[in-house]
Amino acid sequence: MSAARKKKHAKSTGPGLEETLDTELDELESTTTVEELEEAAATASALIAEVVAEAEHNAPLRDIIAPPFIDFNKVSIAFNGRPVLDKVSFHVGRGQTLCILGRSGVGKSVSLRILLGFLKPDSGCISVDGQEISTLNERDMQEIRKHVTMVFQNGALFDSLSVGENIAFPLREKGGLAEDQIEQLVTRLLDLVGASDTVNLLPSSLSTGQKRCIAIARALAAQPEAILYDEPTTMVDPIMGRNIGDLIQRLKLQLGITSIVVTHDMRFAIRLADLVLFLEGGVARFFGPLDEFLRCTDPEVERFLALDAYLPPRPVRGPVAVLNP
Ligand SMILES: Nc1ncnc2c1ncn2[C@@H]1O[C@H](COP(=O)(O)OP(=O)(O)OP(=O)(O)O)[C@@H](O)[C@H]1O
Ligand SMILES: [Mg+2]
């Protein structure tokens, strides 16, 4: 401390205190060097890093911040003695998107059906928003399905009802809304999915992709917290596939909807996924963030990624062969 500052300090504190303070300050100045402070800071940083690493090891940090909204814990199911899922665990936080990947027949759709209670697992726990659901009866499961809903590939729309009436259906079922409120909501939902011009059409006159968008609008009318999609981009052209992807992303960003998307389409997964579950041979071969999945060196994952050929071609090194010079 400078002499001037010490003097100023002395005036405000009185002689007794001044002396003690001076001694303490002198001691501080004499013993605390910049190097020591730097060392102390480094020790503190190392300690903090150690504590964070330990906490993350015990429970990933994102779990502490956002407890899982949907949690599969060691879920197993076998059909006719043939195991399809063997102690599969994954979770997805509120507002996150999980993509389930894997080859045909590995149990992707089965996982969704278990989650909706259409299939009962042989063992394991499944919770939605902290509530264990694997033991619920059908009536209680119907309640859960209001919060966690599914968009089926064919849309599962009522053929005899117009698009507008299809979307109004869950709103009417819920009750408590006047007809003009229902009409307004239908208009807004159709706007949201970019299909305002289809309100009076029958589902039979829609393309597969359009049907899927309407099915998403109808699912939204029930105000779910999570939406499950089973291969939403199969049988639609790449532009419609992109629209559906944009829509799923918008629902996440604008409405905070949690999504689980089963897909074979790696490009689609890369655009949407926060988390990836890769099923192979009945087990969760990988579960974690998308970037870790893309860097994963597990040969099964590498083979899947190579099969899907999502990677851009590697730059050609050396001279390039010229055809028909
Ligand atoms: N109800 C059932 N009874 C008997 N076996 C079933 C039943 N449901 C599913 N399976 C079997 O479970 C396995 C996994 O089926 P699932 O439909 O989940 O595959 P998937 O991963 O969705 O495949 P894909 O990519 O072809 O849709 C398949 O071998 C299927 O035959
Ligand atoms: Mg399937």
155 and 275 together in one domain = yes
207 and 229 together in one domain = yes
Is 324 inside any structural domain?
no
117 and 190 together in one domain = yes
Q: Residues enclosing ligand 1, CB less than 6 A?
A: 79, 84, 102, 104-110
Q: What is the pLDDT along the chain (325 residues), one digit of tens a residue?
A: 444 444 444 444 445 656 666 666 566 555 567 777 777 777 777 776 776 667 656 655 545 455 799 999 999 999 999 999 999 999 999 999 999 999 999 999 999 999 999 999 999 999 999 999 999 999 999 999 989 999 877 678 999 999 999 999 988 988 888 999 999 999 999 988 888 999 999 999 998 888 888 998 998 888 899 999 999 888 888 888 888 898 899 889 988 999 999 998 888 899 999 999 999 999 999 999 999 999 999 999 999 988 765 455 545 555 555 455 4
34 and 84 together in one domain = no
Is 63 inside any structural domain?
no
280 and 300 together in one domain = yes
State the total domains in the chain: 2
Report the residue among 75, 76, 77, 84 best suited for mutation to probe ligand 1: largest number of ligand atoms under 8 A from its CB. Answer: 84
130 and 94 together in one domain = yes
**Which atom number of ligand 1 is nearest to the Cα of residue 262?**
22
Q: How far apart are CA 73 and CA 91, in angstroms?
A: 8
Kindly report the CATH number assigned to the domain that includes residue 221.
3.40.50.300
How many Cβ atoms are within 10 Å of 116's Cβ, its own excluded?
16
144 and 17 together in one domain = no
Is 135 inside any structural domain?
yes
The answer to whether 110 and 188 have CB atoms below 8 angstroms apart is no
CA of 249 to the centre of ligand 1 (A): 27
**Which atom number of ligand 1 is nearest to the Cα of residue 106?**
21
94 and 214 together in one domain = yes
Cite the beta strand spans of the chain per DSSP E: 68-79, 82-93, 97-101, 123-128, 131-132, 148-151, 226-230, 258-262, 275-280, 283-289
Range of the domain at 9: 3-58
